[in-house]
A and B are shown apart, each in its own frame.
Chain A
């Protein structure tokens, strides 16, 4: 990589990011700082949704190849560049699920299940936790995605909206509806178990 590219390693403001993007449109080598900046975030987004680590690395590489290929079409319209990358990651993930190259996975921490149960105002017991985990995959993909982003990844509604191409308010409303649906499924299954 040429020495002049090192200059663009230090950035922080979105304007700097946009300047790098404009340069990278002419020469993809200038994209290196953005690759370094976002590689881990994109990888973590991907690996939480696939079961195999190697598949996650492959999909992450595909995301950046696609981003660089489509970079000349990228235009800044108020949405952060990172969200544009996450949108590509989302589409690459679903493509790999369709091609059966990866399996749809939801990675959850025990603590985060507790947060969902708090939202439902139910006390945390092993049995109730089991029921919740059983009904979670019964949600529609679009609803699961919202629950996943909000509760398991702790993303803001604004960020969720930017990634899912929704307004902040729409992301909030849809998450609320997904939560109601999850609660319905939970109640139904909890009653069956009791």
Chain B
């Protein structure tokens, strides 16, 4: 059931601004999975492939 509120007292701009917290928003963002990052595929991925090639070559 819908509730009707007549002449409701809403918070002031100052009190709304006081509740702003951008750092909290940033902290709540889902963390990027390392395995999906280009860094992983770039640095670790390439070095792993090189390691396997070299391992194959020398052994």
Residues of A near any B CB (own CB < 8 A): 28-29, 31-32, 35-36, 39-40, 43-44, 47-48, 51, 53, 57, 61, 64-65, 68-69, 103-110, 113, 133, 136-137, 144
Contacts and interface: CB of A to CB of B under 8 A. Distances in A.
Contacts of A136: 2, 4
A64 B25 contact: yes
Contact of B3 (A29, A47, A104): A104
B25 A61 contact: yes
B5 A105 contact: yes
Residue with the greatest number of chain A CB neighbours at <10 A, chosen from B7, B24, B30: B7
Interface string B1-29: 11111111011010011011010111011
A39 B6 contact: no
A145 to B, nearest CB: 11
A58 to B, nearest CB: 11
Q: How many of chain B's residues touch chain A, expressed as a range?
A: 20 to 34
Given A32-B22, A36-B22, A108 B6 contact: yes
Nearest to B5: A107
B1 A137 contact: yes
Nearest to B27: A65
Nearest to B1: A137
Secondary structure of the A contact surface, majority rule: helix
Nearest to B30: A69
A123 B6 CA distance: 19
Given A106-B3, A107-B10, A109-B6, 15 more contacts: A35-B20, A35-B22, A40-B16, A40-B17, A43-B16, A48-B10, A53-B11, A65-B25, A65-B28, A68-B29, A69-B30, A106-B5, A108-B5, A137-B2, A137-B4
A141 to B, nearest CB: 9
Contact of B2 (A36, A64, A69, A104): A104
Contacts of B6: 108-110, 113, 133
A51 B3 contact: yes
Nearest to B17: A40
B22 A106 contact: no
Nearest to A103: B3
Contacts of B22: 31-32, 35-36
A97 to B, nearest CB: 10
